[in-house]
Amino acid sequence: MAELHDLDAHDQSAALRSREVSAVELVQHHLDRIDAHDAALGAFITVTHERALARAADADARLADKDTTPPFLGVPTAFKDLTSTAGVTTTMGSALLRDQVPDLDAHLVTLVEAAGFVSLGKTNTPEFGLSSYTDNDVVGPARTPWDPTRNAGGSSGGAAVAVAARLLPLAPGSDGGGSIRIPASACGVFGFKPSRGRVSSGPDGSDWAGLAVSGPITRTVRDAAALLDAMAVPMPGDVRPLPAPPEPFTSWVGRDPGPLRIARWSGTHLPGVEPSSEAVTAWESASRLLESLGHDVVDVPNPFPRELETQFNLIWPSSVAAAPVAAEAEQLLRPNTRYWRQRGLQTSAVELSRAMTYLEQTTRTVVTDLGPFDAMLTPTLALPPQHVEWFNESGDPVEDHRRELLFTPYTGLYNMSGQPAASLPLHWTAGDTPLPVGVMLATHPGRDDLLFALCAQVEAASPWLRRPHAA
């Protein structure tokens, strides 16, 4: 058998059921890897050693009783530190909440644990998940294991690092402007943002803006499909619930998607923001691969208008502005968090309503105009992973935001439109320290199933599993 940490979640589950390894041994193996590697990588904010081993022991007892109902009984995972976990510190990446311990689990946590997964703790995230890089005043930056001098991307940076470095086989993340796909690209793993409404934010979260959704970060497409199958169960009262898919997403992995018509563009919707040569090379290579698989890849201009960025920046900071932060505690927030909080506080209800209406109307037109196409292809990011220092908060939040736009001009568009989108780790830069460069595939709203079929086809044609230097 391969090293335990090199197995994906499906193979780890198979090893547990065949009793090649116990859940306690499997969880301890991953905890040991966290202890050995995480200080250099910053994947975790909190590691729950005793709790994880106790739950692994429970899993072993159930496996001994031939309880095979939960499909991933005893397989390790961890939750992003924005996700409420009862009895486990949940900082949301903020020194202000360093000691916060929720009383209840997010619905996502309940569902993932019901599938048998054992959580090893909470993964690193920027303060309130606001940035496209992961750094905070709790544990500091998350670093891509391909080159730990470079940031892992955000805001699910810790989750992507943990999966890439084989500290976990998979992990849930959340994505409000690219926060699954950005770190997936920077860490060389597979990241899948589901359609709007696919995963509930309950019981205490809210999908009022329609931008954020939770989804899987994995090393294989089949693991991502299985994790989304576990997560995609609505709660009563969800504002935008999608009906349950007629078939599990895992049933689409390995299914021939048929010849598809795929629109592609590499230009951004932002003046002065252009993709790097590495991003274009990855995109061109992916285009050739898709054509070799029988798909019709068609050049189109970027269909999203530049004004979306202005309207997005009225909506995005409103959530942090609504956070109940006492005036005397404001100084505990990072400077850029205070900046976005103030922007949100200055936005009127009328401005917010107009911005949300503009996003809905505009992206509805875009999706309609893309109707002749089955899927879309772009770079995931405009730049490869950037040095940790490049994202240090400079004291000029406008400049810091400009750098984020230079880094990630593509991903947030699909949050605005509600389309499912995935980052595939198909390309690495040349040189002594190769860096991962993802490409992004998307489909129409609600067609997560087709996207899984297409991504699995690409994975089979060009397998991407590699081990980074730091792992």
Is there a catalytic annotation at residue 80? yes
- In the sheet with 76-80, reading across from the earlier edge strand, the strands are 44-47, 118-123, 76-80
Alpha helices in 274-330 (DSSP H): 277-292, 307-321
Residue 191 CA: distances (Å) to CA of 62, 302, 358, 456: 31, 22, 28, 13
**Among 13, 22, 155, 423, the one annotated catalytic:** 155
Distances from the Cα of 155 to the Cα of 102, 169, 179, 449, angstroms: 21, 19, 5, 25
- Tokens representing 163 are 């999966």
Give the active site residue among 80, 119, 201, 287: 80
**Known catalytic membership, residue 122:** no
* Interatomic CA distance for residues 212 and 201, integer angstroms: 9
Task: Give the Cα-Cα-Cα angle 361, 364, 370 (nearest 5 degrees).
Answer: 145
- Amino acid symbol at 261: R
Per-residue HEC secondary structure of 171-194 comes to EEEEECCCCCHHHHHHHCCEEEEC
| Residues 319, 252: Cα–Cα separation, whole Å | 35
Tokens of 42: 């910053």
Tell me the two tokens of residue 307: 């004004």
Distance CA 272, CA 49 (A): 48
**At what angle are helices 277-292 and 448-461 packed, to 10 degrees?**
90
Amino acid in the structure at residue 288: R
- Our answer to whether residue 179 is catalytic in this structure is yes
Going by the DSSP 8-state scheme, the letter that residue 442 receives in this structure is E
**Of the listed 22, 94, 156, 179, which one is catalytic?**
179
Which positions are catalytic? 80, 155, 179
